Chain A
Amino acid sequence: MPQLTLVQAINTALAQEMERDSRVVILGEDVGPNGGVFRVTEGLQARFGKDRVVDTPLDESGIMGSAIGLAIGGMRPIPEIQFEGFLGPAYDQLVNHAGRMRTRTRSAITVPMTVRVPVGGGIHAPELHSDSPEAIYTHSPGIKVVMPSTPYDAKGLLLSAIRDPDPVIFFEPKRVYRSFREEVPDEDYTIPIGEAKVVSEGDDITVVTWGGPVFQCLGALDNLPEDVSVELIDLRSIYPLDIETIVESVKKTGRCVVVHEAPKTAGMGAEISALIQENCFLHLEAPVQRCAGFDTIMPYYKLELEYLPETPRIQKAIEECLAY
C-alpha cells in the first residue's frame, strides 16, 4: 500500500475520479501545467487534457459562477480557489447561488460541485493566506463543509464530496499538506460526509478539533501526565456535524475542550459548546472550554504561532478544564 502525503492523496483521488467519471472537470488558477501552487493537481492536465483540467482567468467569482453553470449543465466541476482568503470574491456565487439553487428551484436545478480550498495557518504564508473561514460557510445553508486532516481521510472524503449531489467545500489544511505520509489504499473507498473520527479513546476529557490542529492536540496529549485519559475527536466534516459522536463522548467524560484555528467569537467552538449544553448539560463536570484563534486579524507569519492554538495553549486548556 503506497505511503502518501495529503497532497498526493488528494491528487490520487482526483485522478481516479476523473478516470471513473468523464463529467469531472477541474478549473482554477494555475491548476494546469503548474499543477496548482501546492502541486495538488500536478500531472492531471497532461493526463486528462486541457478540456478537463482548465487554467482559468484570475477571477474567483468567475471560477465559482462558471462552475455553478457547469454543474447545472451536467458536469461535475471541481473549482479550486487558490487560498481560503480568496474565497471572498467568490462568496456571493458560493453562498447566494450554489447554496440556494436546489431550494429555490424545489430541486429542479442542482449544483453538484466540490470547491477545493487550501486552508489555515502555520506555513509562513503572506497576508490572507492563513485564515480559517469554515464557520462562515457552515452558517450558510445549503453547503456542506469538510476538512480532512489525514491523507487517508482526504481521499475517502474527496470521493464522497465529488459524488455528492450538492455543493461541498473541501478544505485542505495547508499545514498538513506534506507534514507526514500514511498508507492510502489504491482502491476506491469513501468516507461518508458527516462522520467524525475518534482519534484516541479516553475517559477523562473530550477534545474536539479538525484540520491542522489535530496534530497540535496530539502533541498536547503527549505532554499530559500518563494517567490522564483523553478522547480526541477529529470532526472531518464541519457540516453536517456529527453531533452524536461528540455527545456520546462528552456524556462519558463530562468535560470538553474545542480547539480551532478560526477566531473564537461565533466560531464552530461556540456552536459545539451550545450543542453540548443542549444535549448533555447534566453530564458536564466543567464548562466547555474553547481554545481558538483570537478575535483579531490573523497576524503576519512572524507572530502566527502566537495566534494559533499551539500545543502549550491546548495543553493548558485541557489542564484547566480537568481542574475545574
Chain B
Amino acid sequence: MPKKVVYEAKIEHLQILDEDGKLDQKLAKDTLTDEQVVYLYEQMSICRQYDEIAFKLQRSGRMGTYPQNKGQEANAVGAGLALEKGKDWLVPCYRENAALFMHGLPMHYVLLHWMGDERGNQIPEDCRMTPLSIPIGTHMLHATGIAWANKLRGDDSVVATFFGDGATSEGDFHGAMNFATVMQVPVVFYCQNNQWAISVPRESQMNSATVAQKAFAYDMPTIQIDGNDIFATYKATKDAAKRAREGGGPSFIEAVTYRLGDHTTADDARRYRDQAELDAWMGKDPLIRTRLYMEGKGLWSDKQQTELEERAKRIVDEVAKTALEIEAPSTSDFFNHMFAELPADLARQRDTMRTSSLGLDPDQVGLGARAQRV
C-alpha cells in the first residue's frame, strides 16, 4: 500500500500597503475608503501621542509601569474599525489601546489602570470589552467562552481577542483554539507577532516558521499579514469577522509587526536587542507609510499634519489631566467589589480595618468576651 498525503496546508501572507506607502490597488479593492484611511491615521497618531505622555507620566513618578504600543498601532486601528462598536467584543491584551478607544472606552481609563486604579477596568455598560489582561495567554479562553455564549444566545456578535507571539506558547492559547474550533464559535484570534516576548525573540519562543501555522492543528482558517499595514489589518479582521458572523467559526490572524519601544517602562531593550534590527523596523513604522500613502494621493498636507499633532496633544493632555485629577478611591474600596453581597466577616474586616490589627472587631477579642464571662 503506497503512502498517501492526508493533510496539506499553505499559508498566505497579505500585504496591501508596503513600507514605501505603495498600495496594491487590486488587493485594496473594497477595503478602506480615503476617509477611513485618514481616520485611522489620526487614531494611530493620537495613540502614539498617548504613549509619549504615558511615558512621561511614568518617568515623572505619576504613573506606574506602562507598556508602549508604539509601532503596533496599525493592528489596533485596523481591527478596531473592522469590528462593530457596541456590538462586537474586544478581549484585549495590553497593546491594543487604540481599538479600545475606538470602541468607546474613555481614554483616561487605560491611564488609570496603569496608575494602579481598578476604576480604569470598570468597563462602561455600552462598551463590549474586557479590561486589559496582564497575565499572558489566559484571556483567549474568555474570548472563546464569550463567543460561545453569543452562539448559544443567538446573538450574532463576534469576539476578537488580541495577544502576542509569546502567548502562543501558553497551554491556554491552545485550549482556547481547540475549544473555539470544536464548538465552532464566532471568535477571531489576532496575534500581534511583535517579534519579542520581553527579551526572548520569536525564534527562541517557537520552532515553527510562522505563528499562523499553529492554527493548522485546529483546522482553523489562518493567514499571516503585514501588521503595520492598516489595509491588511482591516481586511483580514473584516474577513474573519464576516466568516464568524455567518457561522463559519473562528479564524486566526498572525500580524507581523514590531515593538518599537521597550517591553514596558521597566524594561531596557538595549540589553538584548540589536540597534540595527530596531533601525530596520523604524522604517516600517505604520505611521510613516500611511502618511506617505496619503500624501501621494493628495489626502494629506503638512498643514493637516501640524493640526493633527496639536489636536493629539490637546486630547491626550486633557485625558492625562482627567486621570491625574480623579478623586482618590475610598480607603475601603477594595472590599466593596469582592462579592455582590459582602459576607459578614468581610464586612467586619472592612469596618474595623483602621481600628484593629487584623481587621477584627475589638469587641470580640479579649475584653468583650472577658466582660461577658465575668
Chain A interface (Cβ < 8 Å from any Cβ of B): 25, 51-52, 54, 56-57, 59, 61-62, 64-75, 77, 89, 92-93, 96-97, 102-110, 141-142, 144, 164-166, 194, 239-241, 243, 278-283
Contacts and interface: CB of A to CB of B under 8 A. Distances in A.
Interface string B135-158: 100100111111111101100000
B171 to A, nearest CB: 6
Given A69-B144, A105-B131, A107-B337, A62 B149 contact: no
Given A66-B145, A74-B149, A77-B145, 10 more contacts: A61-B171, A64-B141, A66-B183, A72-B142, A103-B118, A103-B337, A106-B337, A107-B340, A108-B124, A280-B369
10 contacts: A56-B179, A56-B182, A59-B178, A66-B141, A72-B145, A102-B338, A105-B121, A106-B119, A107-B122, A142-B338
A61 to B, nearest CB: 6
B244 to A, nearest CB: 14
B144 A282 contact: no
B345 A241 contact: yes
Contact of A67 (B130, B145, B171): B145
A141 B172 CA distance: 22
A165 B144 CA distance: 21
B172 A61 contact: yes
Interface centre among B147, B339, B373 (most CB of A within 10 A): B339
Interface stretch (B60-68, B197-205, B224-232, B359-367): B359-367
B175 interface: yes
A39 B144 CA distance: 28
B344 interface: yes
A74 B150 CA distance: 8
Contact of B121 (A54, A89, A104, A194): A104
Contacts of B2: none
Contacts, number: 157
Contact of B122 (A105, A141, A165): A105
Nearest to B339: A166
A282 B334 CA distance: 34
Given A56-B179, A279-B369, A103 B334 contact: yes
A73 B131 CA distance: 14
B176 interface: yes
Given A56-B179, A65-B172, A73-B148, A106 B143 contact: no
B120 to A, nearest CB: 9
Contact of B131 (A59, A104, A241, A282): A104
Contacts of A74: 149, 153
A312 B44 CA distance: 72
Contact of A69 (B149, B182, B334, B365): B149
B298 interface: no
Interface string B338-350: 1110011110000
A68 B145 contact: yes
Contacts of A25: 152
Contact of B369 (A77, A106, A281): A281
B370 interface: yes
A198 B339 CA distance: 26
A321 B49 CA distance: 70
Given A104-B131, A105-B122, A110 B145 contact: no
Q: Which 3 A-B pairs have the closest CB atoms?
A: A69-B145, A73-B149, A65-B141
Nearest to A25: B152
A10 B211 CA distance: 44
B328 to A, nearest CB: 15
Contacts of B366: 281
A57 B150 contact: no
A240 B344 contact: yes
B123 interface: yes
A243 B118 CA distance: 31
